[in-house]
Amino acid sequence: MPLKPPKGFIDESDPKVAQIGHPAPPWLVNYADLMTEIACFFIILYALSTSLNKQVQQAVENVQKMVNSKQISGGVEVDREGLKITINEEGHVSFFKSGEADTTPAMDAMIAKLVPTLKKLAVDHDIIVEGHTDNRKISNQYFDSNWELSTARATAVVRLLKNKYGLPPNHLGALGYGQYRPIASNQTPQGRAENRRVVFWVKNLSPSEQKTNSPLKSVGAKISGVRKPNSLIPVKKASSPDIKGL
């Protein structure tokens, strides 16, 4: 004898309920497809939110012009995490001395070209500097592995951005990935040079940060500070003149 379904539940005999071991009803396939398409739609919207940001779009154009004109060696891309500006060593140019974390004049000159763009972005966005190395092993008195080396190099770039170029430190951070995220083969000198790179990751604004930085909110804040026309200002009552002697 089938059990009576609890209050609010659908009976097992209902045609909309799939029995155990039987295929799901046809409508469920279309429903699942619809839910998948809606999820993909919102993921695409989230990914496009950065590219639709005028500030980020302008930064992409500026950096791409410098790459095309050979002012810097690297590239620029926008993904779901934000804007990523990559600079890598090219030819005989070295950003750091081998096994060290101090920046070279060539690195300083490269960063100086990006500073105007990074300064504008750092007003609202967090900028994470990523350090990457090739796969040549290192072990000296300063660093035990490429992890420590890449992190120290990223920190050196962050310190340069703060101390020399005045970027806000509360919007800066450093990460080191060592040799574990290569973009080229480490079997050739050219490939190793491409892997020895620095990435400036301009993070997307979170929904709460977007509301905080919304121009409408700042306008509302200004309006809220204006005194209402009908508000009364208390005035000290003037004392009446003494007329006893008149």
Domain boundaries, the chain: 53-204
Share of the chain above pLDDT 90, in %: 51
Highest mean pLDDT among 52-56, 122-126, 232-236: 122-126
**Rounded to an integer, what distance in angstroms lies between the CA atom of residue 188 and that of residue 185?**
7
Single pTM value for the model: 0.67
Distance from chain centroid for Cα 63: 17
134: its two tokens: 């090739």
- pLDDT tens profile 173-209: 999 999 999 999 999 989 999 999 999 999 987 656 6
Whether the Cβ atoms of residue 152 and residue 176 lie closer than 8 Å to each other: yes
> Rounded mean pLDDT of the chain?
80
Q: For residue 20, is pLDDT > 70?
A: no
Whether the Cβ atoms of residue 205 and residue 125 lie closer than 8 Å to each other: yes
**Rounded to an integer, what distance in angstroms lies between the CA atom of residue 110 and that of residue 26?**
60
**Rounded to an integer, what distance in angstroms lies between the CA atom of residue 23 and that of residue 16?**
12
**Rounded to an integer, what distance in angstroms lies between the CA atom of residue 133 and that of residue 72?**
19
**Domain 53-204: CATH class, spelled out:** alpha beta
* Model confidence band, residue 156 (pLDDT cutoffs 50, 70, 90): very high
